[in-house]
Amino acid sequence: MRIIGTGSALPSLSVSNDELATFLDTSDEWITERTGIKARRLLSTETLYDLAEEAAKKAIKSSGVAADQLDFIICSNVANRYITPGMNCILQEKIGATCAGLDINVACAGFVNALMLADSMIQAGRAKHILIVCAEEPSKYCNWKERDTSILFADGAGAVVVDAGDGFKAVHLSMISSKDVLYYERCMEETPYERNRKEGQPLVMRGRELFRMAVSQSTKDIRTVLEKAGMQPSDITYYLMHQANKRIIESIRTLLGEPEEKFPTNIENYGNTSSASIPILLDEMLAAGKIHKGDTLLMSAFGAGFVSAVCILEWGK
């Protein structure tokens, strides 16, 4: 498998830390120091489906593959307005595709998991061209009365088109069942058999615990995937890390002993866009001419579960 097209889309509204501090007990200084975030993009006038459509159309255009030539659509999303049908069904018509698809929810690790699935489908001969769209709107399920998650999460979409190639060098997925570190609970309907209606609750997070798990497990999984690929940390051109917290990225970088310029970030302006964060970063780096044929990219993401997923891609193969 190899990536042959990329695209991304962000909401037009940018909200600074100072703006959040007008209604939350927080400050620009605290958020910047603890997370590296200065501003985030939040949905206001657009819908998540608009972002998903824009990112997908850009990825399709840059791949040179016609929408009706796609064989499969994989959407990565934690939650959107419709629990059913899947986002892939909603997107199919908007982009002019005719193929089937599926949605996956592996929280913020969705993109690497989608790449793994696409690689497996292509290797099995089940598809030639696959569209992956990661579209997330965590602002719609954060608790905006509290400062813990609402300062971190943001909205966005990133997409890629993949086909057969030799670029996907290694992948490693891990999971430690630990629901309480990060979860979003939906409201359940009352039934004639269970009168006790379950109210939902917005995103609940144990920040410190998650921080520690993210650093230790991601570093471990990065070492595992490097070993699988027969590589050293220094063989990687860029580490495209899930943009969750600049301090998490910095801690992992220090443990690997790699230089800062190998860890590009955009969390400063976009916050944590969940599974969309890596494909958005990838698309922006390509647009800026920073990724070249033969570069080796390591992608690492973690999230609710607790899940972690890492892969290595050689660009242009």
**Catalytic (active-site) positions:** 108, 242, 272
Read off the tokens for 65: 């593959």
Rounded to the nearest angstrom, the gap between the alpha carbon of residue 135 and the centroid of all alpha carbons in its chain is 8
Nearer to ligand COA, 67 or 134 (CB): 134
Identify whether the C-beta of residue 176 lies closer than 8 Å to the C-beta of residue 71: no
Nearer to ligand COA, 156 or 303 (CB): 303
Strand partners, 297: 238, 313
Give the x/- contact pattern for ligand COA in 188-227, rule: CB under 6 A. Answer: -----------------x-xx-xx--x-------------
Nearer to ligand COA, 48 or 151 (CB): 151
**Contact call for residue 36 and ligand COA (CB under 6 A):** no
Least Cα distance to 240 among 296, 300, 303, 170 occurs for 300
Identify whether the C-beta of residue 314 lies closer than 8 Å to the C-beta of residue 183: no
Strand partners, 104: 76
Least Cα distance to 123 among 160, 168, 59, 67 occurs for 168
Nearer to ligand COA, 148 or 295 (CB): 148
**Contact call for residue 251 and ligand COA (CB under 6 A):** no
**Contact call for residue 30 and ligand COA (CB under 6 A):** yes
Give the SS3 label for residue 291. Answer: coil
Q: How far apart are CA 77 and CA 161, in angstroms?
A: 17
**Contact call for residue 246 and ligand COA (CB under 6 A):** no
Q: How far apart are CA 251 and CA 239, in angstroms?
A: 13
Strand partners, 117: none
Nearer to ligand COA, 91 or 152 (CB): 152
**Torsion of the alpha carbons at 9, 23, 77 and 300, rounded to the nearest 10:** 80
Number of residues that bind ligand COA (CB under 6 A): 21
**Torsion of the alpha carbons at 21, 79, 10 and 289, rounded to the nearest 10:** 120
Nearest position to ligand COA, beta carbon: 207
HSE (side-chain half, CA atoms, 13 Å) at 103: 20
Closest distance to ligand COA from the beta carbon of 245 (Å): 4
**Contact call for residue 309 and ligand COA (CB under 6 A):** no
Q: CA-CA distances (angstroms) from residue 284 to 53, 136, 199, 288? A: 17, 17, 40, 6
Give the x/- contact pattern for ligand COA in 94-133, rule: CB under 6 A. Answer: --------------x-------------------------
**Contact call for residue 26 and ligand COA (CB under 6 A):** yes
In one-letter notation, the amino acid at residue 101 is: G
Give the x/- contact pattern for ligand COA in 287-306, rule: CB under 6 A. Answer: ----------------x---
Q: How far apart are CA 85 and CA 245, in angstroms?
A: 32
Q: Which of 28, 46, 148, 268 binds ligand COA (CB under 6 A)?
A: 148
**Contact call for residue 145 and ligand COA (CB under 6 A):** no
Nearer to ligand COA, 43 or 182 (CB): 182
Nearer to ligand COA, 4 or 311 (CB): 311
**Contact call for residue 76 and ligand COA (CB under 6 A):** no
**Contact call for residue 233 and ligand COA (CB under 6 A):** no
Least Cα distance to 154 among 247, 33, 19, 283 occurs for 19
Residues engaged in binding ligand COA (CB under 6 A): 26, 30, 34-35, 108, 147-148, 151-152, 182, 205, 207-208, 210-211, 214, 244-245, 248, 272, 303
